[in-house]
């Protein structure tokens, strides 16, 4: 898998549109503004593939991309965006409850957190959803270019501790800006999807 052929397939706002066709799915989640779109764009080496910047009204959709005709990159709507209305937050919650209550949709959970900060309560909830789903799970600590070298180990330890990660859960130090961690993330995705 080299992420050269990437196609947008569809957006899903309700369970009837979820894709469940047997192909493996790497499911990306993260707080709004954590850089989830930028991470996806850096993976597929496109500038504007996943939309950078929060889009009011678009926060309650799951976007499906097909990678090299072999696997889906499934982009869950970001969470924790302060300017979102209660109605939209409720829609997000319902969609996620529906999504995580289906069995076998997720082959690999890819959760993106900010390498600079302690994970938020929302991050902890999202990590717990992935842990309860019967899937593999990796953490991507994005914006590592903004962390002083001397603080990297400490920040990684805080992320591991706050999300109560098991020792076997990979934590990939990443920068969508410099490309740090890209090879490692691709290898982890390939390994988990067995493609
Ligand atoms: P999303 O809401 O999670 O999809 O986040 P975006 O991809 O829109 O990114 C939010 C902001 O963070 C944008 O201004 C990006 O340019 C910036 N950003 C994303 N990834 C990185 C990174 O690895 N390093 C730095 N320094 N900035 C980043």
**pLDDT at residue 142 tops 80:** yes
Overall average pLDDT of the 176-194 stretch: 94
Report the atom number in ligand 1 closest to the C-alpha of 52.
Answer: 8
Q: Is 30 in the pocket of ligand 1 (CB under 6 A)?
A: yes
- Number of domains comprising the chain: 1
Under DSSP, is residue 85 helix (H, G, I), strand (E, B) or coil? coil
More confident residue, 130 or 82: 130
In a domain, 15, yes or no: yes
Domain assignment of residue 1, yes or no = no
Query: Taking a C-beta distance cutoff of 8 angstroms, is the pair 113, 142 a contact?
Result: yes
Whose CA is closest to atom 17 on ligand 1? Answer: 35
Question: What pLDDT, on a 0 to 100 scale, did the predictor assign at position 81?
Answer: 80
Rounded to two decimals, what is the model's pTM?
Answer: 0.95
Ligand 1 centroid distance, CA of 103 (Å): 31
Q: What is the pLDDT of residue 116?
A: 98
For the segment 128-155, the average pLDDT, to the nearest whole number, is 96
| Residue 52, pLDDT score | 53
What pLDDT is stored for residue 157 in this prediction? 98
| pLDDT at 97 exceeding the cut of 90 | yes
Q: What is the pLDDT of residue 59?
A: 65
- Which runs of E-coded beta strand occur in the chain? 6-12, 25-30, 62-67, 71-75, 108-114, 136-142, 171-173
Atom 12 (ligand 1) nearest CA: 35
Closest CA to 40 of 49, 32, 29: 49
Taking the C-alpha atoms of residue 62 and residue 90, their distance in angstroms, rounded to an integer, is 15
Is 80 exceeded by the pLDDT of residue 27? yes
Does residue 185 belong to any structural domain of this protein?
Answer: yes
Burial annotation 74-97 (CB, 10 A radius, 16+ → b, else e): bbbbbbbbeebeeebeebbeebbe
The yes-or-no verdict on residue 56 having pLDDT over 60 is no
Instruction: Report whether residue 36 contacts ligand 1, using a CB cutoff of 6 Å.
Output: yes
Residue 133 lies in a domain: yes
CATH number, domain containing residue 108: 3.40.50.300
Q: Is residue 140 in some structural domain?
A: yes
pLDDT at 2 over 80: no
**In the structure, what pLDDT confidence band is assigned to residue 50 with cuts at 50, 70 and 90?**
confident
**Residue 152's pLDDT band (cuts 50, 70, 90):** very high
Quote the domain boundaries for residue 180. 6-193
């Amino acid at each position: 898998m080299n992420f050269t052929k990437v196609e947008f397939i569809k957006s899903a706002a309700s369970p009837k549109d979820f894709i469940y066709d047997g192909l493996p799915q790497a499911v990306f989640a993260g707080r709004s503004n954590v850089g989830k779109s930028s991470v996806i764009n850096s993976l597929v080496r496109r500038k504007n593939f996943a939309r950078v910047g929060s889009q009011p009204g678009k926060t309650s959709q799951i976007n499906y991309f097909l990678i090299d005709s072999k696997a889906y990159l499934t982009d869950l709507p970001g969470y924790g965006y302060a300017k979102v209305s209660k109605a939209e937050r409720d829609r997000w919650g319902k969609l996620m409850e529906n999504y995580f209550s289906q069995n076998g949709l997720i082959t690999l959970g890819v959760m993106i957190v900010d390498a600079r900060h302690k994970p938020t309560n929302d991050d902890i909830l999202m990590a717990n959803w992935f842990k309860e789903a019967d899937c593999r799970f990796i953490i991507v600590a994005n914006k590592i270019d903004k962390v002083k070298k001397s603080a990297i180990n400490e920040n990684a330890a805080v992320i591991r501790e706050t999300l109560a990660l098991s020792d076997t859960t990979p934590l990939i130090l990443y920068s969508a800006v410099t490309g740090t961690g890209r090879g490692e993330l691709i290898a982890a995705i390939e390994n988990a999807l067995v493609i």
